Structure 1
Amino acid sequence: MDQKGNIKWGLWLFLLFNLAFDLQGQVSYGGSPIYKYELSPDLESCAKELHFAASQQQLKSLEQYSKGQALTFAHQYTVNYTPDNSGTWTTLEDGTKVWRLLISSPGAFTINLIFDRYRLPEGGKLFIYNTDYSDMIGAFTSENNMTSGVLPTAPVRGDEVVVEYQEPKDVPFHGELLIGAVNHDFLGFYDLGSLKYGIFGESGSCNEDISCYDADNQLDIRRSVVRMLVGGVDYCTGTMINNTNNDGTPYMITAAHCMKEDAAGSTTLLFFNYESPHCAVIDGSNLQTLGTSSQSITGGETKVLVDSLDIALLKMEERPPAYYRPYYAGWTLSSSPSAPFVSIHHPQGDVKKISTFSGELEASTYNFLSNSPYAQVDNFHWRVSEWTTGATERGSSGCPIFDANNLLVGTLSGGQAYCGNPINDYFTQFYKAWDKNTEENAHFKSWLDPQNLGAQSLEGLDPYADNPFVRISNVETGDDAIDSDVTVDGYLAGHNVMQATMFAEKFTGIKSAIIKGIYMMPCDYKYGSGQTVDVMVWQGSESPQTLLSKKEDISIGSLTKNKEVYLELDDPVEVTGSFFVGYEINYEGSPIDSFALYVSVADSKVNNTMWVYHSSTGWEKAADVYDNSMHYSLWLDVLAESVVYGDTQVVLSEEKELVLYHLPGVKDAIYLNSNQQFVDHVQVIDMGGRVLFTQPINKSGEEIEVTLNDIPAGVYILKIQLEDAWLNKKILVE
Structure 2
Amino acid sequence: MKKIGLSLVLLVACAAGAQAQIGKGGVPESVQLRNDQQYVPVHTAVLPDWASFLQKEKAAIAAGTPKPLTLSLSTPTDISFPASGSITTLDNGRRIWRSQLRIDQAPAIGCYYDRFHLPQGVKYYISNGNGAQILGAFTSENNTPSGHFANEAVQGNLVNLELDIDAGVDLKDIDFHIYRSAVYFRSYEYLNAYEGMHTIDFIDTALDGSASVCTINAICPPGSAYSNQRKATVQILDPFGGACSATMINNTGNSPASCKQYLLTASHCQGENDTVSSAFDEMIVRFNFERAQCTGGGIPESRSMVGLNFVSRSIFDEDAIRGDFLLLEMRQTIPLAWNVTLNGWNRDANHALTVAAPKKFIGFHHPSGDVKKVTTSQSITGSVMLWTTVIDTGYGARGSSGSGFFDGDGNLIGIASTAAILNDMPCGVNAHNQQVDYFRRVNYSKLAFDWDYSVDGPNPKRKLKPWLDPANTGVVTLNGVKSNCTALEGSGTAIRNDATQLSDAISVYPNPSTNGKVTAQINLKEATDLSADIYAITGKKQQHINLGKVRSGVFTFDLGNYANGMYLINFSDGAATATRKVMLAR
TM category, shorter: 0.5 to 0.7
Distance 1:126 1:428 in 2: 42
The offset of 1:257, in angstroms, is: 2.7
State the match for 2:280 in structure 1. Answer: 265
The offset of 1:289, in angstroms, is: 5.6
Distance 2:272 2:153 in 1: 17
Distance 1:178 1:453 in 2: 50
Q: How does 1:121-136 map to 2 (within 5 A)?
A: 121-136=119-134
State the match for 1:300 in structure 2. Answer: 308
Residue 548 of structure 2 corresponds to residue 698 of structure 1? yes
Distance 1:719 1:360 in 2: 31
Residue 48 of structure 2 corresponds to residue 55 of structure 1? no
The offset of 1:56, in angstroms, is: 6.8
State the match for 2:479 in structure 1. Answer: 459
Structure 1 residues 688-711: Cα deviation after superposition (integer angstroms, max 9, x where no partner): xxxxxxx9883499xxxxxxxxxx
1:42–1:75 CA distance, 2 compared to 1 (3 A): same
State the match for 1:383 in structure 2. Answer: 388
Contact 2:48 2:75 (C-alpha < 8 Å) held by counterparts: no
The offset of 1:202, in angstroms, is: 4.0
Contact 2:129 2:157 (C-alpha < 8 Å) held by counterparts: no
Distance 1:59 1:237 in 2: 28
State the match for 1:241 in structure 2. Answer: 249
State the match for 2:518 in structure 1. Answer: none
Higher helix share: 2
- Equivalent in 246, 262, 287 of residue 251 of structure 1: 262
- Equivalent in 156, 161, 164 of residue 162 of structure 2: 164
Structure 1 residues 41-95: Cα deviation after superposition (integer angstroms, max 9, x where no partner): 74225x2433324117617826965897553211123445431553333433333
Amino acid at match of 2:69: L
1:465–1:243 CA distance, 2 compared to 1 (3 A): closer
State the match for 2:239 in structure 1. Answer: 231
State the match for 1:275 in structure 2. Answer: 290
The offset of 1:32, in angstroms, is: 1.7
Distance 1:256 1:290 in 2: 34
Distance 1:94 1:41 in 2: 17
Amino acid at match of 1:55: A
The offset of 1:272, in angstroms, is: 2.5
Residue 395 of structure 2 corresponds to residue 400 of structure 1? no
Q: How does 1:533-612 map to 2 (within 5 A)?
A: none
- Give the secondary-structure state (helix, strand or coil) at the position aligned to 1:35: helix
State the match for 2:7 in structure 1. Answer: none
The offset of 1:440, in angstroms, is: 4.5
- Equivalent in 331, 334, 344 of residue 364 of structure 2: 344
The offset of 1:260, in angstroms, is: 4.7
The offset of 1:426, in angstroms, is: 2.0
1:342–1:62 CA distance, 2 compared to 1 (3 A): farther
- Give the secondary-structure state (helix, strand or coil) at the position aligned to 1:43: coil
State the match for 1:651 in structure 2. Answer: none
Distance 2:45 2:28 in 1: 22
The offset of 1:357, in angstroms, is: 3.0
Residue 101 of structure 2 corresponds to residue 103 of structure 1? yes
Residue 138 of structure 2 corresponds to residue 140 of structure 1? yes
Structure number, greater radius of gyration: 1
Unaligned runs of 5+ residues in structure 2 are 1-19, 193-201, 318-322, 356-360, 425-437, 490-523, 533-544, 552-572, 576-586
Distance 2:482 2:337 in 1: 12
The offset of 1:157, in angstroms, is: 0.8
Amino acid at match of 1:236: C
The offset of 1:417, in angstroms, is: 4.0
Distance 2:444 2:133 in 1: 38
Q: How does 1:513-524 map to 2 (within 5 A)?
A: none
Distance 2:158 2:416 in 1: 36
Q: How does 1:609-688 map to 2 (within 5 A)?
A: none
Distance 1:453 1:346 in 2: 34
State the match for 2:215 in structure 1. Answer: 207
Distance 1:131 1:422 in 2: 37
Distance 1:290 1:315 in 2: 31
With structure 2 as the length reference, what TM-score do the two structures score? 0.64
State the match for 2:6 in structure 1. Answer: none
Distance 2:472 2:368 in 1: 38
The offset of 1:160, in angstroms, is: 1.2
Structure 1 residues 165-212: Cα deviation after superposition (integer angstroms, max 9, x where no partner): 2232345982333334311111242449999xxxx9643344333222
- Give the secondary-structure state (helix, strand or coil) at the position aligned to 1:323: helix
Contact 1:254 1:313 (C-alpha < 8 Å) held by counterparts: yes
The offset of 1:161, in angstroms, is: 0.7
The offset of 1:418, in angstroms, is: 3.7
- Give the secondary-structure state (helix, strand or coil) at the position aligned to 2:301: coil
State the match for 1:425 in structure 2. Answer: 442
Distance 1:202 1:289 in 2: 17
State the match for 2:196 in structure 1. Answer: none
Identity %: 26
1:33–1:269 CA distance, 2 compared to 1 (3 A): same
Contact 1:125 1:141 (C-alpha < 8 Å) held by counterparts: yes
Residue 40 of structure 2 corresponds to residue 43 of structure 1? yes
Amino acid at match of 2:451: W
Structure 1 residues 399-457: Cα deviation after superposition (integer angstroms, max 9, x where no partner): 11112221112212222144759564222222332332433543333433344444433
Distance 1:32 1:468 in 2: 37
Distance 2:54 2:411 in 1: 40
Contact 2:114 2:148 (C-alpha < 8 Å) held by counterparts: yes
Contact 1:111 1:161 (C-alpha < 8 Å) held by counterparts: yes
1:301–1:669 CA distance, 2 compared to 1 (3 A): farther
- Equivalent in 290, 305, 330 of residue 316 of structure 1: 330
Unaligned runs of 5+ residues in structure 1 are 1-24, 281-287, 364-378, 470-667, 673-678, 683-694, 702-717, 721-734
1:696–1:335 CA distance, 2 compared to 1 (3 A): farther
1:35–1:262 CA distance, 2 compared to 1 (3 A): farther
Distance 2:550 2:397 in 1: 47
1:120–1:129 CA distance, 2 compared to 1 (3 A): same
Distance 1:224 1:98 in 2: 40
- Give the secondary-structure state (helix, strand or coil) at the position aligned to 2:50: coil
Amino acid at match of 1:698: G
State the match for 2:112 in structure 1. Answer: 114
